[in-house]
Structure 1
Amino acid sequence: MGTGNPRRVLIIGGGPCGLVALRNLLHRAEFTDVQLVERRDNIGGLLFLISRYHPPQDNSGVDRVDWDSPAYPGLIGNVLPEFLSFSGKPFPAPTRPDQPFPTLRETYDYLEDFARPFFETRKIRLNHEVTRVEEVEEADGGGWRVVMTDWTTGESGVRKEERWDAVIITTVWFENAYYPNVEGLHELKETGKVRHAKTWKGPNGYEGKRVVVIGNANSANEMAAQLAPVAQLPIYRSTRRISIFPSLPDNRIEDVGPVVRYSSTAAGEKVTVHLQDRNIENVDCVLFGTGYYPDVPYLRVLEPKSRTEGSIRQLIPLTDQTIQPARIPSLYQQVLYAHNSSLAFIGALVSFIPFAFADLTSTWLAGVWSGRIHITTSVEDRLLDEQLRLENLHKVRSETDNPSDLHSFHFLGRYELPYAQVARAEVIQAMPELGDVLAKWDDEQDTRRFAMYGTKLDSLYAIAGEKRPEV
């Protein structure tokens, strides 16, 4: 079950979750070795902006381009510096009085500065792409077999295989673009008329185009706003619910209802978007700001003992995009794999303040793996956590007729504060020296967190040079 205390830990992913997990395991617990691997040539994860071109790998003529990210030029965040600050490392104060939200560059600079000591101590390996993580039987020594490609050695890469006592995976969400299951979408993708926010790099190339944007969360709203000055008007924004995310009213953007079907001309040159009450014809491109789904395709775990007692256990995928409700299954506290607690996920939980949440949960994990925080050793008790969450999620979803309401397994919503308070209390009991270091996670902090939406709307009006209407 992997209930012992691991000594050697590998962290996969060099984004904010991986970086803060690296710091917390190195500084808040004692392990023999902790390292982080990142497949790109710099840290940042979803905040990594520059996509670098690589020459052909071999004589096949196939090019390799570095993995893209959802970051784009001009991006301004939706989280205030207070909640972007890792404990003990305050985020620099904003320099613009009307724009308290950091730019992409400012956020990246903060992460780069945070990561610098770990480069100096060689705890981060860049250009290392993990292609397989496999659980190892205890009879064979336990732990995890990790296969990766080292791209630092040449254009074709070199295969490496390593064994680690424990693994932290932080690459759960943003590689897996989610598209709603709508009739005609598969065929539409084949025409090349579909784009996702994951690859959005700004409105260049959309001049004069007729565009439909799907969704009305942050990504969809930002794409619609950037398209409005250049694309054919109106910009259509298809939504299923009232958005809680701040955006400016714009008469160049027309909100329409849900899409029920897509079709295209015989040559695939134009798209018709079929709504419930009308059609939008002669569309050049459909842009999806519909989020992501949790999946770690390179991960394989052993079949749980309870299902195959006495037989040879096979390696099976833990995650799959067909799992419903969408989730990383069999997690305890949405961090630890219930059947083997030497596998953990930081960043699976969805929070509106992900930096602060990753800081807290990885500190809690450091306490658990160092033996300072005690958790149940019973797999059944660990799985009860998931069962209760699924039952609650089913109840909440049964009370709404809107499938796109923000009710998902990994999004805690109003349960985020009590979850964080319990985790923090366990950390402070085990590591009282962190009492004045970790974020408080109290009602006052929660009030400031919810107030960010109003602050963000004020900043959008300030950028536009407009006065916010009186309510």
Structure 2
Amino acid sequence: MATSPRRVLIIGGGPCGLVTLRNLLERGEFEDVQLVERRDNIGGVWYQSRNEHANDDSDPLAASRSRWPTPAYPALIGNVIPEFLSLSGYPFPTPPREGQPFPTLRETYDYIAAFARPLFERGKIRLHHEVVDVAEIEAEDGGGWRVAMTDWSKGSGSGVSLKEERWDAVVITTVWYDNAYYPDVEGLDDVKLTGRVLHAQTWRGPSGYEGKHVVIIGNANSANEMAAQLVPVAQLPVYRSTRRVSIFPSLPDDCIEDVGPVSRYSRGANGKITVHLQDRTIDDVDYVLFGTGYYPDVPYLRVLGPAVGTSDRARRSLDRLTHRHIQPIRVPSLYRHVLYAHNTSLAFIGALISFTPFAMADLTSTWLALAWSSPAGTGTGTGTRTGSKVTVPPTVASRLADEQDRLQILHQLRSETDNPSDLVSFHFLGRYELPYAQVARAEIVRAAPELGDVLAPWDDAQDARRFAMYATKLDSLYVLAGKTGEP
């Protein structure tokens, strides 16, 4: 990166965006850093508006609330203990319950809101601003990024305005949760038209499913929680279609019947769905609920492609960087899952899937703040660093080598089994997460030694505590269910 950006825009007001804002402001050297969020409050997937599905003409912001629903639901309890939800320098409070150390949706949101309060007070967060286009600018035209956004602050209709701004650098934190992933299975597109196919993205609890015949697809956290919540109200058994044994904790329940993978779907009688398994069919299904995760896509982002023409002013086309059909599924051309290799003034925080996403976003955004900042004493921002700068490989080819190394590892991992898990994916590092974090942390501490006592340690002891969360979560599920003893 030839120069350090002076002005940085962060897109997305969830935990990733907020900790990035804090870290760029306090650990970097920049002239201006701002964050825009399209909804009426910060929190990302942890914020659930009181009127999320309301259609209230008396509330001019009701439309914007329902436009972007969160995957969160009122009864949600997390799967990460406070240690790994704590952003550096701001510990997460211990939940006030015995046997249930995992915070609720409200407790997590309250923590995020408190963390964001001083950022609001500094005037660094703009709500109701939906980014609709981010376009890379030619170097001959000064470089940087042209950002178009819709201002919904006055509600819909005549109050909506479109504005355009120019920024030296952009951080995108809205990578996953707008993009519900459905497996490619025969007949699925057709049965979606019945309105009986839903995704965990829009799950709000079991109300409305009384007496309904339900098949759930998947057995990770979302699928398991939907199944457990449906048991008291739905027609039994609740079917759960899986491809392998889950690594995610869930209570055994005779009312949940695990079945094999779905080979195809078809329309049944009375507008219902027939689910065809490899060895049987399930008829008269009222709803098929998918807990199959999300895929990375940023549809509003356009980057410069190869030059077109042979003149001195040959122009380059603007093309989408991400889309649904990239294989392996990923945000392409990233160095360390963070920096866009072809133009390092574009960054992604939250593209990397972590066992401990708050802690990982804190680490990677601190790394980014130092990678983008001028050496100590030469910046014009408000940072207070005393060290040097994190270095990034100087050429596009050297930065792209990181992606190629990861693709080779991913190919090896997927070739080791004929039924690879969806968790064996480009941005999910698995057993490579700790080494990744240790390298990033070491580079940070070399550049800013004072952060050595502030950041999470990312050592073997921490990793052991993280693995122990699975057993702790299972124990907490027994406590919630009022059960004791071994499963």
Do these two structures clear the TM 0.5 threshold for a shared fold by scoring above it?
A: yes
SS of the residue 2:146 aligns to: strand
Spell out the pairing of 1:409-424 with structure 2 (5 A cutoff).
409-424=426-441
Offset of residue 377 of structure 1: 1.3
Q: Pick from 277, 287, 293 the counterpart of residue 285 of structure 1.
A: 287
Distance in 2, matches of 1:405 and 1:161, equals 39
Question: Which position in structure 1 is the counterpart of 2:466?
Answer: 449
Post-superposition Cα deviations, 1:292-316, rounded to whole Å, max 9, x if no partner, equal 0000000000014699997321100
Q: Does 1:35 align with 2:38?
A: no
Distance in 2, matches of 1:365 and 1:36, equals 16
Question: Which position in structure 2 is the counterpart of 1:273?
Answer: 275
Q: Which amino acid aligns with 1:169?
A: I
Question: Which position in structure 2 is the counterpart of 1:22?
Answer: 21
Q: Does 1:299 align with 2:301?
A: yes
Q: Does 1:160 align with 2:159?
A: no
- With over 3 angstroms needed to count, the CA separation of the structure-2 counterparts of 1:318 and 1:209, relative to structure 1, is same
Distance in 2, matches of 1:309 and 1:171, equals 37
- With over 3 angstroms needed to count, the CA separation of the structure-2 counterparts of 1:188 and 1:328, relative to structure 1, is same
Offset of residue 155 of structure 1: 1.8
Q: Pick from 360, 363, 370 the counterpart of residue 363 of structure 2.
A: 360
Contact 2:11 2:173 (C-alpha < 8 Å) held by counterparts? yes
Contact 1:3 1:341 (C-alpha < 8 Å) held by counterparts? no
Q: Which amino acid aligns with 1:205?
A: G
Distance in 1, matches of 2:2 and 2:179, equals 31
Q: Does 1:87 align with 2:104?
A: no
Question: Which position in structure 1 is the counterpart of 2:330?
Answer: 327
Distance in 2, matches of 1:107 and 1:461, equals 22
Offset of residue 49 of structure 1: 1.1
Question: Which position in structure 2 is the counterpart of 1:430?
Answer: 447
Q: Does 1:254 align with 2:257?
A: yes
Distance in 2, matches of 1:114 and 1:235, equals 40
Q: Does 1:468 align with 2:479?
A: no
SS of the residue 2:153 aligns to: helix
Contact 1:8 1:164 (C-alpha < 8 Å) held by counterparts? yes
Contact 1:54 1:63 (C-alpha < 8 Å) held by counterparts? no
Offset of residue 3 of structure 1: 3.5
SS of the residue 2:456 aligns to: coil
SS of the residue 1:177 aligns to: coil
Question: Which position in structure 1 is the counterpart of 2:111?
Answer: 110
Distance in 1, matches of 2:193 and 2:261, equals 22
Q: Which amino acid aligns with 1:137?
A: E
Q: Which amino acid aligns with 1:359?
A: D
Question: Which position in structure 2 is the counterpart of 1:175?
Answer: 178
Contact 1:70 1:200 (C-alpha < 8 Å) held by counterparts? yes
Contact 2:309 2:315 (C-alpha < 8 Å) held by counterparts? no
Question: Which position in structure 1 is the counterpart of 2:5?
Answer: 6
Contact 2:353 2:427 (C-alpha < 8 Å) held by counterparts? yes
Unpaired segments ≥5 residues, structure 2 = 375-388
Distance in 2, matches of 1:427 and 1:289, equals 37
Distance in 2, matches of 1:312 and 1:55, equals 47
SS of the residue 1:36 aligns to: strand
Q: Which amino acid aligns with 1:350?
A: I
Indicate the RMSD between aligned Cα atoms, in angstroms.
1.8
Post-superposition Cα deviations, 1:152-175, rounded to whole Å, max 9, x if no partner, equal 134231000000000000000000
SS of the residue 1:263 aligns to: strand
SS of the residue 1:303 aligns to: strand
Contact 1:3 1:340 (C-alpha < 8 Å) held by counterparts? no
Offset of residue 75 of structure 1: 0.5
Distance in 2, matches of 1:144 and 1:349, equals 23
Spell out the pairing of 1:189-268 with structure 2 (5 A cutoff).
189-265=192-268
- With over 3 angstroms needed to count, the CA separation of the structure-2 counterparts of 1:80 and 1:160, relative to structure 1, is same
Offset of residue 404 of structure 1: 3.2
TM value normalised by structure 1: 0.96
Offset of residue 468 of structure 1: 3.4
Distance in 1, matches of 2:396 and 2:70, equals 36
TM value normalised by structure 2: 0.93
Number of aligned residues:
464
Offset of residue 375 of structure 1: 1.1
Offset of residue 104 of structure 1: 0.4
